[in-house]
Structure 1
Amino acid sequence: MRTMTFRQRGATLLVGMIMLLLITLLAITSFKLTKGNLQAAGNAQQRDQAISAAQGAIEQVISSTQFTSTPANAIPNPCGNVPNTSCVDVNGDGVTDVTVAVTAKCVSAQVIPAAALDFTKADDAGCLLGAGQEFGVEGGASNNSLCANTLWDVQAVATDTLGNAQATVNQGAAVRVPATTVCP
């Protein structure tokens, strides 16, 4: 019973070609989806690297001894001799992958009242020695200590050198300084 008509063989060929076309379309679609997912993962990785580089630059600025006196030039070895700029080599190939520009802005400076300090703490005791007296009223002390609290807004903008993608990180910082220091 192997009798098959010519029409039946043609229908089998047609169904086989349609199935082959559907499988080919399915394969092409899966490759395109995979490529899109890889691009999304790569972009997320670049963003995370830029954020990490920005956070590192902020830490470098805040840790600098120049931070409160010259906040516009707080990074000791700036990238390309541009003040407050950091170059980061993410993959270790010796080429800069991310450039970070940092700006530090003093928001406020407030002298600490002597009554707010704890005499038993070494940091606070240094603020109490030799508290001065204000002029105008003889014998009237100002009740201010020798220290002030400053609040800073530090912003880092990291730019990926390959794709020019940017990530911005803001961080606040509180720094105790001599009471004579004003916000620059």
Structure 2
Amino acid sequence: MSSMVRGSRPGRGQRGATLVVALIMLTLITLLVVNAFTLSSSNLKAVGNMQARDEAIAAANQAIELVVSSSFTDAPVAQELNVDMNKDGATDYTVSIALPKCVRAIEVPNPDKCEENLKALCAENNWYTEWELQATVGDTASGTSVVVHQGVRAKLSNSQKTAVCATPST
């Protein structure tokens, strides 16, 4: 009879052990899921920040190209340009272009002999002027702030160089 009593109640000392093991496993799986979610969220933020930065740099470069394609050396001024990156008709970025600075001027050597019909062109010296352009982009929506520096060389006459370049020639 004692063997029947034992057979009806197996593992008397292990009561609830399965529940404890299941709770521990559930806790570990929950921690893994939370960790994976946090990691994916931070990766998404990093990719978003990189995209916003790259877009702001592209906007600054586009604004610099607009300035360089104009006759900015005639009367250099600081200006703000609106840039529409996705061509939807709305301004995506406002780019501040600082006053272009003439960094240096190098005289272009005149040819030793000028043809008779080109004397007027040879009479005035020409100068290679080097300019520094600075574009600043700030986007309040993403918190992005980018400054892009660009060097540009422009060929100017002596009178143009004298009017806009205060730096001595080198």
TM-score category of the 2 structures, normalised to the smaller one: 0.7 to 0.9
CA-to-aligned-CA distance 1:73-132 (integer Å, 9 cap, x gap): xxxxxxxxxx52112233455443322111211112333231489x7xxxxx97x63544
Deviation at residue 147 of structure 1 after TM alignment: 1.5
**What is the aligned partner in structure 2 of residue 79 from structure 1?**
none
2:59 to 28, 31, 53: 53
Deviation at 1:9, TM superposition (A): 4.2
Q: Please state which structure has a larger fraction of its residues in helix.
A: 2
Query: How many residues are aligned here?
Result: 154
What corresponds to 2:4 in structure 1? none
Which position in structure 1 is the counterpart of 2:120?
129
- Pick from 135, 144, 159 the counterpart of residue 180 of structure 1: 159
Letter in 1 for 2:108: I
Residue 116 and residue 13 in structure 1: after superposition, are their counterparts in 2 closer, same or farther (change >3 A)?
farther
2:29 corresponds to 1:23: yes
What's the secondary structure of 1:71's corresponding residue? coil
**Structure 2: which 5+ residue stretches go unaligned?**
1-6
Structure number with bigger Rg: 2
2:167 pairs with 1:162:
no
- From 35, 58, 68, the equivalent of 2:73 is 68
Hey, what does 2:44 align to over in structure 1? 38
Matched, 1:98 2:93: yes
| TM-aligned CA distance change 1:50 to 1:4, over 3 Å | farther
Percent sequence identity over matched residues?
A: 40
TM-score scaled by length of structure 1? 0.73
RMSD: 2.7
TM-score with structure 2 setting the length: 0.78
How far apart are the structure 2 equivalents of 1:14 and 1:150? 79
Q: Distance in 1 between matches of 2:125 and 2:34?
A: 72
| Residue equivalent to 1:88 | 83
The CA deviation at 1:149 is 1.1
Q: For 2:120 and 2:8, locate their aligned partners in 1 and report how far apart those are by CA, in whole Å.
A: 112
Which of the residues 103, 107, 118 maps onto 1:107?
A: 103
Mapped partners of 1:3, 1:102: distance in 2? 86
Paired residue secondary structure (2:28): helix
